[in-house]
Structure 1
Amino acid sequence: MTLGAELIKLRTVRVPYALLAVALAFGVALTVAIALTSEPAELASEVGARLTLSTGGNMAGIMALLLGIIASGGEYRHGTILPTLFVTPDRGRVALANAVASATVGGLIGAVAVVATGGVGLGLMAARDVTVGLSDAQLVGIAVGGVAFPALSAAFGSALGTLVRSQVAGLSIALLALFVVEPVLTELVDGYQRYSLTGVRVALIGGDAEAAGAADGGLPPAWLAAVLWTGYTVALVTAATAVARRRDV
């Protein structure tokens, strides 16, 4: 019942639709920019193809992270956590349900973004007579990663929002980590990129190391990236669930 209630909450508010629109707008725009400004030889290479076709999963994952934070942190900001706990007094169960619901919606955002940007990217490459430098298995990997990353990212964001109990704090921490801390550490610490949140994210969506900050920084294999990001997410969700059970509202 709790999971169903959380899904209904997300379905009946505007935030998921707005974040989907942003993911599509930026994902498609970036795909078009790369596909039209790159030289055909660059676009046909594995690096060029990965940069072009992974934009949907990347943008969807970032938006899904914000969705998770807003979904859980918003419960405390707007006071809706009180009636939720009145119906389901198990705080841990509520936190877990929010994370699973966020992951479900995040995966849907990823699926739509991957289809849209992949269609645009492949269409533009075909229009320029560019042969995609990726195997069918690699293309499937990009598509699967583009759905898995937003799903895991949304659950990660939900857990973060539950831990800090604030949309503003959660969003600030996430944006600071993504766009300030991670780039700085990538520049300062050799080998950090390979197992950083950014590096694992890019590897999971099938991107290239250049998109993670440094072309020579390397990325983990896709399977290891999936294991690592799943581990990070499960650890944070477990912590959020445990902390929620010990709290008063």
Structure 2
Amino acid sequence: MSRQVAAELLKLRTTRVVPALLAVSVGLSVLMAALIVLLSSTSDIGGDVGGRLVLSSGGIVAGILALLLGIVTTAGEYRHGTILPTLLTNPDRLRVTVAQILANTAAGALMGVASVAATAAVSFPLLAARDVPVTLSAARVAGILVGGVCFAALSAMLGAAFGALIRSQVVAVSAALFVLFVIEPVVTSLVDGYQRYSLTGLRVAISGGAAESAGTAAGGLPPAWLAVLLWTGYALALATVAAVVGRRRDIL
């Protein structure tokens, strides 16, 4: 398995989409943090909720782009046929899919570290320049920053599993964005308690960001460790389905 993961990491290092998305993630993280601090009133960003919103923005941006990274890299291999040499060397679909997920998780973590670091480097000086005190404790700040890195890594994991299942970059990206920004908000508004274990709710719990809706705040969120386990479970379930479906596709 270690050799398979190393091979997948080599593929990522030689793929132009990885540094491109990394640069975009860092740039957007810096821009978002700066806009939040500069365009918000001091009362909005000076409290606990405002501080979490500013500091978690980098991890959220990195998470969304890491999700796209996982989808594009795994689905792209099937789309362009570059997966064939890998499967000839190792025909075990589940092992290959897990190796792809682990490699993308590492790439997502790197994206998260870069984006979170850039967000912190911009946010604290701008907050100080506007005389906005950071009311969050040092432990809370560290938790938000670490949570942002974890969210980016887990997003890449989920994206890789989803891309392996769908195999079409355009369809997979469109479906993922549709689920996140259309289906989830609708279901959350209709089903009481759904937001607690939805991808959006888990994202808030992992990244340490502010709850986005009254329903999320009222329903409560799982602890971060449970949110991580649930998100990982979702990704592994998708990976298992992708491996099983892959075998059936070969037969058909």
Q: Shared fold (TM-score greater than 0.5)?
A: yes
Could you give the per-residue CA deviations for residues 115-144 of structure 1, whole angstroms, max 9, x where no partner exists? 001111112111112211211111111111
Relative distance call for 1:24 and 1:211 in structure 2 (3 A) is farther
Indicate the residue corresponding to 2:19 in structure 1. Answer: 17
Instruction: Tell me the SS of whatever aligns to 1:13.
Output: coil
- What code does the residue aligned with 1:177 have? V
- What code does the residue aligned with 1:19 have? L
Tell me, in whole angstroms, the C-alpha distance in 2 between the residues paired with 1:11 and 1:212: 42
Indicate the residue corresponding to 1:140 in structure 2. Answer: 142
Indicate the residue corresponding to 1:69 in structure 2. Answer: 71
Unaligned runs of 5+ in 1: none
Match of 1:41 among 17, 40, 43: 43
* Contact persistence 2:165–2:239 (CA under 8 A): no
Could you give the per-residue CA deviations for residues 7-54 of structure 1, whole angstroms, max 9, x where no partner exists? 111111111111112212222111111111222222121100010000
Relative distance call for 1:214 and 1:169 in structure 2 (3 A) is same
Tell me, in whole angstroms, the C-alpha distance in 2 between the residues paired with 1:123 and 1:217: 35
Q: Percent identity?
A: 58
Unaligned runs of 5+ in 2: none
Match of 2:9 among 7, 28, 45: 7
Following TM superposition, by how much is the alpha carbon of 1:210 offset from its aligned partner in structure 2, in angstroms? Answer: 2.2
Could you give the per-residue CA deviations for residues 180-231 of structure 1, whole angstroms, max 9, x where no partner exists? 1112222222332222101111221110102798665643332332232222
- What code does the residue aligned with 1:57 have? G
Normalising by structure 1, what TM-score?
0.92
Indicate the residue corresponding to 1:96 in structure 2. Answer: 98
* Contact persistence 1:57–1:110 (CA under 8 A): yes
Indicate the residue corresponding to 2:162 in structure 1. Answer: 160
Aligned residues: 249
Following TM superposition, by how much is the alpha carbon of 1:171 offset from its aligned partner in structure 2, in angstroms? Answer: 0.9
Indicate the residue corresponding to 2:210 in structure 1. Answer: 208
Indicate the residue corresponding to 1:31 in structure 2. Answer: 33
Instruction: Tell me the SS of whatever aligns to 1:209.
Output: coil
Following TM superposition, by how much is the alpha carbon of 1:168 offset from its aligned partner in structure 2, in angstroms? Answer: 1.8
Tell me, in whole angstroms, the C-alpha distance in 2 between the residues paired with 1:230 and 1:2: 20
- More divergent stretch after superposition (76-85 vs 191-200): 191-200
* Contact persistence 2:201–2:216 (CA under 8 A): no
Task: Write out aligned runs for 1:163-174 (5 A).
Answer: 163-174=165-176
* Contact persistence 1:51–1:211 (CA under 8 A): no
* Contact persistence 1:110–1:150 (CA under 8 A): yes
- What code does the residue aligned with 1:139 have? V
Could you give the per-residue CA deviations for residues 62-117 of structure 1, whole angstroms, max 9, x where no partner exists? 11111111111011111101112122222222111111100010110000000001
